[in-house]
Structure 1
Amino acid sequence: MRNLQDGMYLEQGYGILVLATGARAVMPDLPGIDLPGVFPMKEFQDGIDLKSFLENQKPGKAVIIGGGYIGVEVAESFRGTGMDVTVVEALPRIMAIMDDDMSLLVGAELKKNGVEVITGRKVIGLDGDTQVRAVKLDDGTSVEADCVLVSIGVAPNNEMAVTAGLELGPRGAIQVDRYQRTSDPHIFAAGDCCTVYHRLLCRDVFIPLGLTANRQGRMCGENIVLEMRGEKLKPFPGVIGTAVTRVFGLEIAKTGIGQVEVDRHGLRHISDVKIKARTLPGYFPGSSDLWVKLFFEDDSRVIVGGQIIGGPGSALRINTVVAAATKGMRLDELYTLDTAYAPPISPVWDPLLIAARSAMKR
């Protein structure tokens, strides 16, 4: 270990060791990636550095490399400063965690608010002199930029685990069991550096999210105490991949299995239904469009996931889908829920009930 205050190295024995090394922003090995004006976005300090750059340099054109959650959120912030903003995504669409038809709604919202979206193009380098001036794409074109945000994902900080010879899981994350133990029974791990059990896919995955990290850390601490007492450890219950964000006036939420998971894991006998409704009664001020997509098993009719996109008041409905998918509720059980109604809050028929009813007809 190294003491960060005095730089001195020391050795410290342990009975139980916890690795909570987190994850880091992936920075591609591209020409010009180290130019001034190019920023990652993962740590708190990254935000401070970017904010200082915006205030001092006052850039006019920004390019965001990556169209995931952070990329689209920062696009909104950049537009709020008056900058011209371009999002470049190597995949055929932005927000690739969502289904194709749902991610198109996000792209339309960005474009409506003046953000240029370029998909299916890879960044091959950055040009500049004393600072970044342009982003070069693989079709031979360039996009002018005096500020570049790189947001193409994160990677687990697994170097200590590799040195210790620990087993790694998906995407290089430290493999842990349901009790947060690594392949070395004396070493535990928790948070963005390690795998987590997906209770619907029934396999370990790498989904670095804040609530997951907090819960794993708490479970890790509890199990270490139980182990020291010689008592039975508690298994981490797992996750189903719930995430939410907002882009301009659009709220976006996802949980469980969607078409991405169906294709990636070769899942069969899963169907979906998509409906368009309103966040509030149509006559009520502030009512806006809302889209709900539910995924369910063909035979059992059990709900396994959902996606919601819409105006203010849309996203938190995903928590009902979370409960349904986690507890194995059928479509008819969701449909018969006694949901709340008041014109300022929700329509008489909640959009989730409408979606469930539509799916039941299939």
Structure 2
Amino acid sequence: MDLARQTAERRPSCLARLACGTGPFHAPRRADCPWCGSPRLRVRLRTADLIQRKPGTFTLERCADCAHTFQNPLLSAEGLDFYRLGSGRQDLGHRDFWRQDLCHGLGGGAAALLARAGAGRSRRLAGVRALSRFDEPESWLDVGTGRARFPAEAREVLPYTAFDGLDSDPDLVEGVRHGRIEEAHRGRLTDLARHLAGRYDALSMVHYLQRRPDPRGELRAAATVLRPGGHLLIEAPDPESRSARLLGKWWASYRQPRHLHFVPLANLCRELDELGFTVVDVDRRAPHVPADLSTACALLLNRLLPEADVPWRAEPPSGPRLALRRAASWAAAPLLALAYAADVLLAPLLTRTGFANAYRVIARKEPGA
């Protein structure tokens, strides 16, 4: 079935969900910080859905005491379902973002460019190499693994480690079928933690915490799953990045409305300490994804172009508008390529001057934790 027919068939049910507006997609607004409980909240930014252009406005607030940034009000369960990927697959891992989410929004040449921009084999494996300096785990659980591409690459560094994956993605089984992981755990880490208690020597959360409604609960679940002496690898967007302040809502890591929490590095390290972990490695440079400028340009382009044929709009766009969108997307590819080249060339300077967009933490679970 072609895309136009799929869109037409989905349109009635999608519009029915929007009949009462977007209010039901949000939980009640919090009056205090979910991390420290402080009532001193300040609006950091308000934005629309810049990728899929679904209806709604989303607010990020920052705690004036602990600097935790979070979506307020948070999406409700219904909202999380509605704002999932337009392809119909929900809860895809962040590592599938470039191929599925942004590419679905743009299409054409811009999508192809940004799919390549999200790549970076050496960057993705830097965390694995860093952890291997402290341990050579027998078993590793990758949480939010998507289709398990990360474990498949990590095996190049740790060929004798057994990798498993955990995700809500229905395509998780592809990881087992293609031999990327040995065992697939379908569901939420917080729900499966007791079943997996003490089973793994290493656990990775690569761009995962920001997508969860309760990041502290995820950390407690990780502590349950790890054996004493096991290592936890976390990579996450850095809300203290100067790029976030400079680009505002066009900063790719904000990715509203699907990113719910942005945990400052200091808060994360303190929480791990309270859970009985010892932080053994912190890196605010190597996890940087050199795509801030090119992605900001792509998001702006997506906002300016005529909208694609999507089921949350009552009427499909005309043929000429669709043709204009496709032509402009391909025409913009050289500009985006130039922006991406600037991202790559400037990366060594940016990561030394506070513009890196992500951090990595490796922590060891101490005996008796």
Which interval holds the TM-score relative to the shorter structure?
under 0.3
TM-score normalised to structure 1 length: 0.26
Q: Which has the larger radius of gyration?
A: 1
Higher relative contact order, chain-length normalized (CA < 8 Å, sep 6+): 2
Higher strand share: 1
Higher helix share: 2
